[in-house]
Amino acid sequence: MTEIKKVAVIGSGVMGSGIAAQVANAGLPVVLLDIKLPEKDLAKDAVARMLKTDPAPFMRKSNAKLITTGNLEDDLNLLKDCDWIIEVVLEDLKIKHATYEKLEKARKKGSIVSSNTSTIPLHKLVEGQPDSFAKDFMITHFFNPPRYMRLLELVVGEKTRKEAVETIAAICDVRLGKGVVRCHDTPGFIANRLGVFWLTAGVNEALAQGVSVEVADAVMSKPVGIPKTGVFGLIDLVGIDLMPKLSASLLSTLPKGDAYRDLFVDHKFVHGMIEAGYTGRKGKGGFYRLNPDAAAKKEKQALALQVDAFSEDQYAKADKPKLASVTAGKAGLRAVVETDDEGGRYAWAVLKQTLAYAASLVGEIADTIHDIDEGMKLGYNWKSGPFEMIDALGPAWFAEKLKADGLAVPEILKKVGEGTFYKVEDGARQFFGTDGKYHPVERPEGVLLLRDIKLASEPVAKNGSASVWDIGDGALCFEHTSKMNTFDEGTFEMLSKVTKMIEGSEDYKALVVYNEASHFSAGANLGLAVFMINIAMWAQVENFVATGQKVFMDLKYASFPVVSAPSGMALGGGCEILLASDAVQAHAETYCGLVEVGVGLIPGWGGCKEMILRFQERERAAYKENAAAVDEKRIWFSPDTTPMGAPRKAFETIGVATVAKSAFEAIDIGYLRESDGVSMNRDRLLYDAKARALALAEGYEAPQKIENIRLPGATGKLALDMAVADLRKSGKATPYDVVVSSHLASVLTGGARDVTEPLSEDELLKLELSEFMKLLRHEGTMDRIEHMLDTGKPLRN
């Protein structure tokens, strides 16, 4: 298999530059080229723009240095050492062919070329191209934004080299973090073929049934396992002006008799919105907008749909529908569509068409139902794919309902009959094939999923807050199961249990902390804390915090290695367990931080202590690295003689609730060590973490507790307090910020003791607990906690 060492991207628009950024995120050098203009350097400007974009295309800003920019006239020589060239130019066949002619002359022999097209069939792209080009060519369709969207649709031609296909599939999976789905060379491939159909059906049915956009999105979202944007919110997000283009592209290439041709309606009001600048979130608004009246204080408005016209007068304050069909989502998909209200009728009308269309395309757009399901889950973030949805409804029930509504029943639905599209046999998941037989769902090498393990085994231990699973080879996996994976008494009970279980066992030798929820952990269960405080259970609250400290210390100094494997949010306590672990194997999209100041508190489970130790560790490493260097402009001191360095850095990090926006940023900030690992693909995280844990288990020796932490004491606290006082005077800190910062400073500087008196870890934890409880009893803290629970936002006063 060819090794991809350098990549080129041709076209520096939003998609092209985003793909270049993701390649740079993978640590690979990238050449980014665009057309030459007299007054502009398009590629260079694109990189500069991305450095200011939010959400950020780069996982760390320094990755931009991996991109070399240029143009297609002067810099084609830069392609000579590129192993993979990705074309992302305009969706115009003539322009693409002209580009390929240039690439063919400049690229090295055996380099792979792919197109990011979403509309032009591969057989048309290679038309008129030499065999040498066709053998190296394929389609790699990324979804926007390339960093955050996991789907990569891979389409190959009859002449495409197998080795080239496997090379690109591997790099997209392992290095770029994509879920690679093999598609056929058909219009819209998988995700957009079905996604555009679904969105079109959603708009049509809302108009036909007189359903408001608020009702449509309320039911066609979380209740049916679709993101909260629903139909109209998603169209606003991707751009209303994009929808006619996608429709036109599909209609120009779809076969005669395709159901989308009958479904499509060229709505006049959509063109009216576009002409008026209402193109969605990127424009003046879309189906939703913020009230332009400044006095309205960001009031959200929704558009009242009218078939033939668009007017700004159609906007009114957005409603928050309360429907039985929305509530029914808790009981499953079938409960939603069987509810006899406007939401239930709308959901059934949209889903019956969409799911029937998906079933009719098996074998045409992809080989298997599993490929189609993965495409929709990865590309549109559906919780379940179309065939998993049909299983939730019951295939036989769904087929009968289609008949009753006068719709044709697709052949594969007839074939599955009274069965289901998925089943579990001998602890392994299988899918129903077009041949009428069941086939195993196969995972790529290096993929280990907890949901697969659960099909074949029972938990080693379990309570209402957590489970423990045997993941093989002597490793156990601790899984949060509480709401938002928060820490409560049950979580600590299970962590304590699994610690004793491994230490007293000859069968187990390592622990991985991991789960497959959207977020690793949101920290402490604040609702539980509020309940205990409201009934004056102060002793119980203090014991809860002290228990967390003990459990995390037991993990840190256990006789076996602990590897935490976060993905998504790891905040507060979720970050503190990372700090207590021997190592972290983080998904690249990990957002971690000690954010307790946002609710008027400070870290209480060792976060303050661990950040001091982390920063002292870095300072010590920097000293060792530079001690032998002669540098007249800079004098290096041992951390033993600069006790203020680590506390100041920890104060700056914790005091403003710094959150890393990627695993790489977490390394830069200090939440993770340089030695910690990063997995780009979410599905490979558990496998990588397990491998790391087992490697550490070989000859593992538990670390020794630190007994001599040197901190600046009272003088250091005075310095930090003065800095906050200056911020307060300039209006950059609130009165309560001053209160919280004072308690934080007390912990980080070691309290009232002298600089000559070192602390042990246990002593520093006691100080952390004491200052935490003082803050918790402060009259302003409860307001902040309750405000966060009610709004999800910190209270600023």
- At 633-669, the pLDDT tens digits run 444 445 454 789 999 999 999 999 999 999 999 999 9
Which DSSP letter does residue 653 get? Answer: H
Would you say 200 and 231 are in contact if contact means Cβ atoms under 8 Å apart? no
Mean pLDDT of the chain: 94
Confidence grade of residue 533 (pLDDT, cut at 50, 70, 90): confident
**Nearest residue to 649 (alpha-carbon basis) of 635, 668, 675:** 668
According to the model, what pLDDT value does residue 637 have? Answer: 44
Distance CA 685, CA 178 (A): 13
Task: Give 99-168 as a 3 state SS string.
Answer: HHHHHHHHCCCCCEEEECCCCCCHHHHCCCCCHHHHHCEEEEEECCCCCCCCEEEEEECCCCCHHHHHHH
Contacts of 267 (CB under 8 A, 6+ apart): 203, 207, 307
**Residue the block writes with tokens 């297609």:** 72
* Backbone phi, psi, residue 482, to 5°: -75, 170
Going edge to edge, which strands form the sheet with 151-156? 67-71, 30-34, 7-10, 84-87, 112-115, 137-142, 151-156, 179-182
Compute the half-sphere exposure of residue 773: CA atoms within 13 Å on the CB side of its CA. 16
Q: Does 739 score more than 90 pLDDT?
A: yes
Distance CA 386, CA 551 (A): 43
- At 17-39, the pLDDT tens digits run 999 999 999 999 999 999 999 98
According to the model, what pLDDT value does residue 629 have? Answer: 52
Confidence grade of residue 630 (pLDDT, cut at 50, 70, 90): very low
Q: What angle do CA 727, 731, 735 make, to 5 degrees?
A: 80
Q: Does 155 score more than 90 pLDDT?
A: yes
- At 512-528, the pLDDT tens digits run 999 999 999 999 988 88
C-alpha torsion angle, residues 687, 693, 698, 703 (rounded to 10): 170
Q: Does 791 score more than 90 pLDDT?
A: no
Buried b (16+ CB within 10 A) or exposed e, 442-466: eeeeebbbbebbeeeeebbeebebb
According to the model, what pLDDT value does residue 280 have? Answer: 95
C-alpha torsion angle, residues 771, 777, 780, 783 (rounded to 10): 120
Contacts of 437 (CB under 8 A, 6+ apart): none
SS3 at position 186: coil
Q: What angle do CA 774, 780, 781 make, to 5 degrees?
A: 60
Element (H, E) at 569: strand 568-571
- At 699-731, the pLDDT tens digits run 999 999 999 999 999 999 999 999 999 999 999
Q: pTM of the predicted model, to two decimals?
A: 0.94
Distance CA 85, CA 79 (A): 8
- At 161-198, the pLDDT tens digits run 999 999 999 999 999 999 999 999 999 999 999 999 99
Confidence grade of residue 628 (pLDDT, cut at 50, 70, 90): low
According to the model, what pLDDT value does residue 794 have? Answer: 81
Q: Does 506 score more than 60 pLDDT?
A: yes
Distance CA 29, CA 715 (A): 48
According to the model, what pLDDT value does residue 754 have? Answer: 85
Give the mean pLDDT of 730-743.
93
Q: Does 211 score more than 70 pLDDT?
A: yes
Q: Does 113 score more than 70 pLDDT?
A: yes
According to the model, what pLDDT value does residue 535 have? Answer: 84
Tokens found for residue 611: 């950040």
According to the model, what pLDDT value does residue 632 have? Answer: 43
Q: What proportion of the chain, given as a percentage, has pLDDT over 70?
A: 97
Q: Does 407 score more than 80 pLDDT?
A: yes
According to the model, what pLDDT value does residue 636 have? Answer: 42
According to the model, what pLDDT value does residue 102 have? Answer: 97
**Nearest residue to 617 (alpha-carbon basis) of 649, 585, 595:** 649
According to the model, what pLDDT value does residue 635 have? Answer: 41
Confidence grade of residue 627 (pLDDT, cut at 50, 70, 90): low
Q: What angle do CA 306, 308, 310 make, to 5 degrees?
A: 65
Q: Does 288 score more than 90 pLDDT?
A: yes
Q: Given the DSSP bridges, would you call strands 288-290 and 179-182 parallel, antiparallel or unpaired?
A: unpaired
Distance CA 364, CA 350 (A): 22
